[in-house]
Amino acid sequence: MDQLQAMRVFLCAADLASFGLAAQRLGISVAAVSRSVGLLEAHLNVKLLSRSTRVISLTESGGKYLEECRSIIRRLDEMESSLVRATREIAGTLRIATSTTFALCGLSPMLAAYQAAFPSVSIDVTSFDTPISMTDGGFHVGFAVGRGLPDSSLVSREIATFPDVVVASPAYLAKHGTPLHPSELVNHALLAVSHDCARRWEFLDTHGLFFVPTGNALQATSAATIRVATLDGMGIALLPAPLVSDDLASGRLLSILEPFCNAAVNNKLSITYPGRIYLSTKVRHFIDFAVNHHRPHDHAVESRVAA
């Protein structure tokens, strides 16, 4: 027995004092009304309605139960209406998980544009350098950057791609020399982001793919940390192009080994979220906004988005 539905049938029958009229209003048969009320009475072990050939009336217990039913159903209906309104409104708090370096140089312009259009949405951002659980963290959406996702169970939509570049500071190159081929990197201090993909760097020469083991001088979970170390002259690094675009433009860093960088190997920026169904309008709209925000500016994205 669906007790809540039985309560609704009982409430309708009692208010109309007729099984027939209740059946018409509810769009079910008279027998279904009678059966539903009978099951409810059996469940409660209490007679709620007195029946006659023409009319039904409340018993004393039925009158008390009626008012409780009315109160419960009214509260449930109000709660459901409130929940439906909340899921349809573009308002409330949006919880975002993002890699630290994307938060530093790619996320803010998009959030500024979104919040300018939807000021009723407040944004709570958590940044990470190592994979985190979107579900356990209660995040609505996340931004994953790299060749893999923080959680393979998440739904993912790619919104941009960008290359890595090999960089070093002018001071480091002046002191240690500029490598002209990837094979010369074994004689240099290499700075690497410490994830599985970064244990070796991949290059391409006339003989095919060429791999160089990395991290002999410094490893860090954050690409932002490696960037700072590179600026300080600690060594040579392979970093996402958008993360160091301003440094390259200003001359604080120099790009090297460009002819050997494998153009087929790109990082990807994906927006991730836990499931396609039961998304609120707020979350679904933000996902679409993020995708559209990047789509018209593919070339500009490559100069802004970071890992």
For domain 92-162+267-301, give the CATH number. 3.40.190.10
Q: Which residues is 164 bridged to in the sheet? A: 240
Query: How far is 218 from 13, CA to CA, in rounded Å?
Result: 77
The predicted structure's pLDDT at residue 197 = 55
CA atoms within 13 A on the CB side of 15: 14
Place of tokens 């209660």: 138
CB count, 10 Å around CB of 266?
Answer: 15
What's the predicted TM-score (pTM) here?
0.64
d(CA 185, CA 202): 12
**pLDDT of the residue at 307:** 37
Q: Which residues of 117-126 are buried (b: 16+ CB within 10 A; e: fewer)?
A: eeeebeeeee
Q: What is the pLDDT along the chain (307 residues), one digit of tens a residue?
A: 788 899 999 999 998 888 988 899 888 999 999 999 999 999 999 999 998 767 789 999 999 999 999 899 888 888 877 776 666 677 889 999 998 878 877 889 999 999 998 888 999 999 887 777 887 788 899 988 765 455 666 788 888 888 889 999 999 999 999 999 999 999 999 999 886 455 788 888 778 888 888 878 999 888 889 999 999 999 999 998 888 999 999 999 999 999 888 765 677 888 988 776 667 788 888 998 998 888 754 444 433 443 3
Listed in order, the ranges of the chain carrying CATH 3.40.190.290 are 164-260
What pLDDT shows up at residue 306? Answer: 37
Q: Would you state the pLDDT for residue 105?
A: 77
The pLDDT of residue 151 is: 60
Residues carrying CATH 1.10.10.10, the chain: 3-88
Reply yes or no on domain 164-260 having CATH 3.40.190.290.
yes
CA distances to 33, 47, 60 from 43, rounded to whole Å, are: 15, 10, 17
**Measured distance CA(237)–CA(234) in Å, rounded:** 9
Output the pLDDT for position 242.
86
Architecture of domain 3-88: Orthogonal Bundle (1.10)
pLDDT at 195 (0 to 100): 67
Do the Cβ atoms of 125 and 118 come closer than 8 Å? Answer: no
**Residue 233: per-residue pLDDT:** 96
Q: What is the pLDDT of residue 162?
A: 82
Residue 299 confidence (pLDDT): 40
pLDDT at position 154, please? 77
